[in-house]
Amino acid sequence: LNISIFLGVLVVAVVMAWIVTQLSGRNYAMDTLLGVFAHSALAVGLDLVSFLAGLRLDLLAYLFGDILAVSRLDLAVIWSGVVLVIGLIFWRWAALLTATINEELAYANGLNPRQEQLFLSLALGVTIAVAIKVVGVLLIVSMLIIPAAAARNFVRTPEAMVISTAIIGSVSALVGLRGAYIFDTPPGPSIVCIAFALFILSTIIGFIKARG
């Protein structure tokens, strides 16, 4: 359609977040719906691109990211998304936490769990839209899951987990970029590899603490 990739991804992500939220709890869990829609949309997108004659598109950059091609405008968009998501999390933190832990507890506190799911899905959609150029469609899921899984092994509170996850993700990005520069490897996969290494390390530390 000859429009901004960021704008296209953002619009589709927001629409997808609304659809998934509306369908969740009706025979399918949200994780299942996210997996089905995300991978199906990716497959449909790749098929549609193959039908566009004369289009020169670097699919690998969108699938695995190309952080070295990020411009100043991209950085401005990314930081705008960061501010928006952090603001949303701060605004709805208590409600999101309550709805995540127990839906009945959320209802008892006058909250609408489905509405909180929508807020979380929208935050996820914005995160994916601003990060797609950095780590790509296929690797963004890794960076959403692995740092959080690594942080879970040595924290005791949800707030500590959020902060630890952000730190692990940042360290993974910095060390991964340095490693990509030294060993001449793709930046996106290098970042994910560092995150995975930190996950293994945190798992070992957690196991030792549990045994001790």
Q: How many CB atoms lie within 10 A of CB 132?
A: 21
Segment 119-148 shows an average pLDDT of: 86
pLDDT mean over 4-22: 83
| pLDDT of res. 180 | 92
Are 23 and 33 a contacting pair, CB within 8 Å? Answer: yes
Residues of the chain above pLDDT 90, percent:
36
Q: Give the residue, 16 or 55, on which the prediction is more confident.
A: 16
Q: Please, which residues have CB within 8 angstroms of residue 186's CB and are 6 or more apart in sequence?
A: 64, 180
Instruction: Give every CB contact of residue 21 below 8 A, 6+ residues apart in sequence.
Output: 30, 114, 117, 118, 121
User: Between residues 138 and 150, which one has the greater pLDDT?
Assistant: 150
> Cα–Cα distance between 147 and 55 in angstroms, integer?
36
**How much is the mean pLDDT over the chain?**
87
Q: Residue 69: enclosing H or E segment and its boundaries?
A: none
DSSP-H helix ranges across the chain:
5-23, 30-50, 59-64, 72-101, 103-108, 113-151, 158-183, 187-211
Residue 163 pLDDT class (50, 70, 90 cuts) = very high
The model's pLDDT over 73-110, given as tens digits with 9 standing for 90+, comes to: 888 988 998 999 999 999 999 999 999 888 899 999 99
The CB-side HSE value for 111 (13 A sphere, CA atoms) comes to 23
- 129 exposed, middle or buried (CB, 10 Å; 0-12, 13-18, 19+)? buried
The model's pTM: 0.82
pLDDT at 53: 67
159 vs 45 pLDDT, higher one: 159
208 phi, psi to nearest 5 deg? -65, -40
Q: Tell me, what's the pLDDT at 94?
A: 93
**Residues 107, 87 contacting (CB under 8 angstroms):** no
Inter-CA distances, 114 with 50, 86, 99, 110, 162, Å: 37, 20, 8, 12, 22
